[in-house]
Amino acid sequence: MYIRFPIGHADEVHFNAHRVFHVSSIFDHPSIQKHMTLRRFAYVDDTGDLHLDTAVTAVEKDMKYGCGIYTFEKKIKKNIQPACLLSRPLHNFKRKIMKLEI
């Protein structure tokens, strides 16, 4: 999942209710904590320079209005079996199809 939004040195509301978030504020959201893992982070700083594959902690502390680009991946639960292993055997499915065709 790709998310991008304005980032700065603190969570702020600017003119006309425009919001700027601290670079790490997104990690406080319960859904992100529970379901997502950060795979990649990039940002555009105040001067317009793009910083690719950067650590979140490497963002300039005095940045006022940049753009954070987050790439998240959904966490995979380890104890879940694929649906095909939980369903009925395939031969039962084939019998049902044969009955329908007749």
pLDDT tens digits, residue range 5-27? 999 999 999 888 889 999 999 99
pTM of the full structure: 0.69
CB 7 within 8 A of CB 69: no
Q: What is the token pair recorded at 12?
A: 């702020």
Task: For residue range 47-99, list pLDDT tens digits in order.
Answer: 999 999 999 998 988 898 999 999 999 988 776 555 555 555 555 555 554 55
CB 21 within 8 A of CB 8: yes
Q: What is the distance of C-alpha 3 from the center of its chain?
A: 6
CB 8 within 8 A of CB 67: no
- Annotate 1-64 with DSSP letters as a single string: -EEEEEEESS-EEEGGGEEEEETTGGGGSHHHHHHEEEEEEEEE-TTS-EE-S--GGGS-TT-S
Q: What is the pLDDT of residue 27?
A: 92
Q: What is the pLDDT of residue 16?
A: 81
